[in-house]
Amino acid sequence: MLLWWSWVWRRQARAGSPRRRASPPAKNTAPDPKAVAAVNTAVAALLKEAQAGLKEGGSKDPANKLREKADYFGEAAPADITPDAVLAALEKPINNDPRVDSYVKWQLLSAVRGQFAEELAPRALAVYRRAPEPYTHPGLDRNKLTSALFKIGAMNKDNESKVNDEFKAAIEKFTADNLYILHYRDDLYARLPVSADSLKAGIDDMYVRVRHGVNSAGMFTQVGSLIRSWSLLADRRQLGGISQALSTLMQAVKDAHFQPFTRVIWGDNPMGLRWEGGELIPNADIQSVIDAVREAGRK
């Protein structure tokens, strides 16, 4: 059963992203060559670090243990590295493995203290929108998982622990594969100046995450708080765009196709094993922010 089960969750097809209106290209000026050289040196070192830590079995070796937070440059901002030099590195692919690419870029962000300056915001926003997408939750293959459950015996209560133990391994792999991808996306978003465009990008990011079965409740709390504060001074056109984006996110969250199964449970009525899942962002939280935005638009 183990080999057959691995076939069910092994395929992690990536879901599509919402269509986005192209942003006008930002003016690009060449950063200080010394800063670029310093960033390139850091990239080379971080690339070796990431590849050693993410190779098969590498993370189990204490010598290859990866960082738990973005701290490559230490507590003080490096004097020889500028934010635009960091952006220049973020704008280019570093590695074909999205986990490695994200880890390196996540660590590079530790050279940027606070938010990017307004003149760099368009470039940073474009980088954010191109960040590697997360891997897809194995529980989103709902039809195959339901069919598989009946094949192995949905009326046998003893299968509950067996199925859950095997599926837990699939979820753990999904979580591990996404760890640095989400760290990078989270920390990059935190460095974007707050604006209608950055808030819309944050909502779009959550839309992408939800379509991949990634729990986004924590990020919504952060973005939702920013939207509430921003909405007090925003104009009606901007408020309308954010409200529409939130409504689109709400539709995705409510869609059962994007509510991944997480485990099987035994039920007595009807009797048998069945899959259990849940929403990735509380609907009430999204509706509360939508209501706040609409109220701001009426003032």
- State the DSSP string of 105-122: HHHHGGGS-SSPPGGGHH
Residue 57 is predicted with a pLDDT of 55
Confidence check: pLDDT of 208 > 60: yes
Q: Identify the band that residue 220 occupies on the pLDDT scale cut at 50, 70 and 90.
A: very high
Helices (H) then strands (E): counts for the chain: 11, 2
Residue 134 burial (C-beta neighbours within 10 Å; 0-12, 13-18, 19+): buried
Residue 136 burial (C-beta neighbours within 10 Å; 0-12, 13-18, 19+): buried
pTM over the 0.85 mark: yes
Tell me the mean pLDDT in the region 230-237. 96
Token output for 179: 């760890």
Confidence check: pLDDT of 292 > 50: yes
- State the DSSP string of 144-177: HHHHHHHHH-TT-TTHHHHHHHHHHHHHHHHHHH
Secondary structure class of 7 (helix, strand, coil): helix
Residue 40's alpha-carbon distances to 30, 65, 182, 186, in angstroms, are 15, 22, 23, 23
d(CA 282, CA 253): 8
Tell me the mean pLDDT in the region 221-248. 97
Residue count of the chain:
299
ω into residue 270 within 30 of 0, thus cis? yes
What is the chain's mean pLDDT, rounded? 89
Q: Which one-letter amino acid corresponds to residue 52?
A: A
Residue 171 is predicted with a pLDDT of 96
Tell me the mean pLDDT in the region 251-280. 93
Asked whether 198 and 121 are in contact (CB, 8 A), the reply is yes
Angle between helices 159-190 and 2-10 (to 10 degrees): 30
Confidence check: pLDDT of 1 > 50: no
Write out pLDDT tens, residues 29-75.
788 899 999 999 999 999 999 999 998 655 556 567 899 999 999 88
Helix, strand, coil share of the chain (percent; to 5): 60, 5, 35
**Residue 111: count of CB within 10 angstroms of its CB:** 23
Write out pLDDT tens, residues 5-28.
444 444 443 444 444 444 454 455
Percent of the chain clearing pLDDT 90 (strictly above): 80
Residue 58 is predicted with a pLDDT of 54
Confidence check: pLDDT of 272 > 60: yes
Tell me the mean pLDDT in the region 121-148. 97
Confidence check: pLDDT of 210 > 50: yes
Question: Long-range contacts made by residues 32-35, C-beta under 8 angstroms, separation at least 24?
Answer: 32/82, 32/85, 34/80, 35/80, 35/81, 35/82, 35/84, 35/85
